[in-house]
Amino acid sequence: MSPRYTRLVDSLPATVPFVGPETNERARGAVFDARLGANENGFGPSPRAIAAMSAASAGQWMYGDPENFDLKQTIAARMGVTPAHVIVGEGIDGLLGYLARLLIEQGDPVVTSDGAYPTFNYHIAGFGGVLHKVPYLGDHEDPTALIHRAREVNAKLIYLANPDNPMGSWHSASVIETMIAQVPDGSLLALDEAYIEFAPTGTAPSIDPDDPRVIRFRTFSKGYGMAGARVAYAIAAPGLIAAFDKVRNHFGMNRAAQIGALAALQDDAYLAQTVAKVARAHARLNAIAAENGLRALPSATNFVTIDCGKDGDFARKVLAGVVKRGVFIRMPFVAPHDRCIRVSAGPDAQLDAFAAALPLALAEARG
């Protein structure tokens, strides 16, 4: 006796896009000394956000506002759009899931880069979409190749992250604007800007909010240090935004998280401090890599991708050696990028732990 699963669900493997650090801790029987693998913001949320969420705790007996009214109003004002252009959801992951549910039926073509964000792929597979992948161009996603493949397969959806995860690379605003102009009729570009707060000036493109060819995603998980609160938003033409109401979980947003995100948006000074701390952590990670004969790739994110100088098997040994020594890090999944490890920016004590573990892990990997 078992439930009668859909044919699609029966055909899918049990998949977890990312294995969490807690899973690793349970397996190793000890907590990590440093948590530098999940691109979390170890510098934490704004004190205003913490105070607002603490004050909201006693009101958690109430559901969150299903319209996210106050948060949408503030986001719209900051982004120069109307609230009708804004959808708030449970992290970019949650919003990508809703987008896939809106657009993708079994067999529908979707284009992404080979080795790009795997949770997007997970959602597409979950609704029966067919993924068409193009290689990176060096360490950058390739907008021209993505558009070309989208035309070839008549893609309903195209995914691009700018800045990119897992490589930390980025394209200028003009490159993304050119890409948007070339999106084929009937296709939609999902532009993931999760790391935009850390990117150089001139990275975020100018996009007409009424443009039906693109939906842009932003989050409170990275720059604002609120990954556990699960708050993100997307901006798109009002017709697409309204369609989310057909499929979203209207009570999916945590009430305290809504209140905390609103407070975080009102603390620009703290965000600027965080961006400066991440820049200093970049410099430290670059130095740690160089001290060990490795090369840190340029990064516009809150992590640094470090080229281990050999192949994926060697990098996996390095990663295992670092993790064994109590420092949680990750690495890209797909060759040739799996020659690298990826380390989140974090406080000095955590970077000290990584600096101590890396030379030992490298020596072990070299045999």
pLDDT (tens digit, 9 = 90+) per residue, 202-231?
999 999 999 999 999 999 999 999 999 999
Domain boundaries defined on the chain? 19-44+269-366, 47-266
CA distance linking residue 138 with residue 237, whole number of Å: 33
Residue 116's pLDDT band, with cuts at 50, 70 and 90, is very high
CA distance linking residue 170 with residue 173, whole number of Å: 9
- CATH 3.40.640.10: does it fit domain 47-266? yes
CA distance linking residue 47 with residue 39, whole number of Å: 20
Helix (H, G, I), strand (E, B) or coil at 68: coil
Predicted TM-score (pTM) above 0.95: yes
Angle (CA) 150-156-157 rounded to 5° is 75
Whether pLDDT at 1 is above 80: no
Q: What is the mean pLDDT of the chain?
A: 97
Lay out the sheet containing 130-134: strands in order across. Answer: 86-89, 232-235, 214-219, 188-192, 157-161, 109-113, 130-134
Helices (H) and strands (E) in the chain, counts: 13, 12
The b/e string for 2-16 (b: 16+ C-beta within 10 A; e otherwise) is eeeeeeeeeeeeeee
Whether pLDDT at 86 is above 80: yes
CA distance linking residue 22 with residue 44, whole number of Å: 19
19-44+269-366 with 47-266: one CATH topology?
no
Residue 17 is predicted with a pLDDT of: 82
Residue 19's pLDDT band, with cuts at 50, 70 and 90, is confident
Which CATH number is 19-44+269-366 given?
A: 3.90.1150.10
